[in-house]
Structure 1
């Protein structure tokens, strides 16, 4: 099978033939139709996550996918060959299996049946970004009418977070560029703050002097990159990055937590159903063939991704 993989530690990803993987107990072999790209794919490719979990090579990239079940391993009775599915390869050691390939093995616990009226490309864009968005929204737990700032709203996680917050009745203020404004408003943001025009904190406080009620932080790995001062005292913060840390939160009089997405079947299935029903927009902005998957990862690494980038693996 063709697969985008890192042949050995320190080497660049290549698209080449690898053996089709065997199917362990509790897993399913999926003929991949589409694969969603995420920032963690670049981190794994560069070896940045090797200190967090053992990596084994050749290492196939990609974590999110949709496709058709080819075979099931022992102990799997919820899924069967021929099922159209979506799923996620969790970040657990050893890191080696991936979905940027014609076939991939996924834990059955991280796979759910795809709604019939949800296409494969949209389905592949849901698992990690959707689960991360659901987790940060749950973490800040907004009440109807409360104002929530989404910092880094223009990416894949942000597009889901804006919608899920708005669905709970929150007044969403999103950061983005002028080019992002119309689509973020359509997704449910009340206002968009242009982070290229100056301090996000100053822009927020100029309109909302008391600050927002909560912050969903999706970008910035240093405390100074996160607009904590835009949040009122006693407000809540949820972050998918390493910042802000506990000391910075305490100093600002805020409570908060770091969030790590857990895209199990029980989390991604409701999101897929919402997408199929039209109550959750899956914002795929770029679709690439497998031989251009590395270009999509480069776009994400450069911080130029807007919405989700999906790789169509089956060529259809």
Structure 2
């Protein structure tokens, strides 16, 4: 099969031929139609995460996919050969299996039936980003009328988080540039603040919300001191997808919070897909690439220029 993979530690990803994975107990072999790129793919492709999770090579890049079931392992009874599905390769050592390939082996727990009204591109764009957004909103326990700041709102996770917050009746303050404003407001943001401005983010937020926002979903900060904690009122909550929510730092600021480890399992994926199929959750795809250009998509994400979701088409 053709696969976008890292042939050995330290090498650059390439598209080359690899053996088709063999189905095992509790897994689903999928003939991939579409796969999605996520920020984590750069971390895995460069080996940045090898100290945390052992890697095995060749390492196929990609975690999310949608396609048609080719085979199922023992114990799998919720999908069958020929079903249209989507899902995610959960992180487990050694990291090697991926989805940007003609075939992908996914754990059954992270495979769901694709609704008939949802395209393969849209389904592939849901798992990791959708689950991260859902878990972040859940962690804040957002109530109608609350104000929530989303930093990193222009990316894939942010595009879902803005919508899920708005659907709960929250007022959403999203970070972006002037060029992003129309797109973010169309997704449900009430206010867009320019993260490239010389004026600190907290000051920009305070101009509209002088008492501070009720919650912060941070999708971009790698350390506690990078979080816009000054924008959050005392007693507010913080959710970080990059492990920046330090309990002591938050406590000193009069806040609580948690770090989010997304779990794109079937119980989370099915309701997200149902919402997307009925049109209440927009899947914000901004770029679709052929397999041979998957590396260009990774480069876009690494540069910070990605908007919405980037999809790799594997087959028609």
Superposition TM-score tier, normalisation by shorter sequence: over 0.9
Structure-to-structure mapping, 1:162-311, within 5 angstroms:
162-197=162-197, 198-311=199-312
Shift of 1:132: 0.2
- CA distance in 2 between partners of 1:124 and 1:135 (Å): 18
CA distance in 2, matches of 1:234, 1:66: 41
Shift of 1:244: 3.4
**Equivalence for 1:18:** 18
**Whole-angstrom distance in 2 between the partners of 1:271 and 1:140:** 18
**Cross-structure match for 2:62:** 62
Could you tell me how far 1:34 is from its partner in structure 2?
0.2
Q: Secondary structure at the match of 1:118?
A: coil
Question: CA–CA distance in 1 between the matches of 2:200 and 2:230?
Answer: 11
Offset, 1:57: 0.8
TM-aligned CA deviation for residue 247 of structure 1: 2.3
Quote the Cα distance in structure 1 between the aligned partners of 2:56 and 2:208.
Answer: 51
Q: Secondary structure at the match of 2:8?
A: coil
The equivalent residue for 2:109 is 109
Mapped contact 2:151–2:174 kept (Cα < 8 A): yes
* Cα distance in 2 between the residues matched to 1:89 and 1:244: 26
Task: Give the Cα–Cα distance (whole angstroms) in 1 for the partners of residues 263 and 224 of structure 2.
Answer: 25
Alignment RMSD, CA only?
0.8
Quote the Cα distance in structure 1 between the aligned partners of 2:59 and 2:208.
49
Number of matched pairs: 315
Please give the alpha-carbon distance, in whole angstroms, between the structure 2 residues aligned to 1:218 and 1:6: 26
Compute the displacement of 1:26 (Å): 0.7
**Structure 1: how far apart are the matches of 2:222 and 2:246?**
10
SS at match of 2:25: coil
Unaligned stretches of 5+ residues in structure 1? none
TM-score (norm 1): 0.98
Mapped to 2, the partners of 1:259 and 1:71 lie a distance apart of: 32
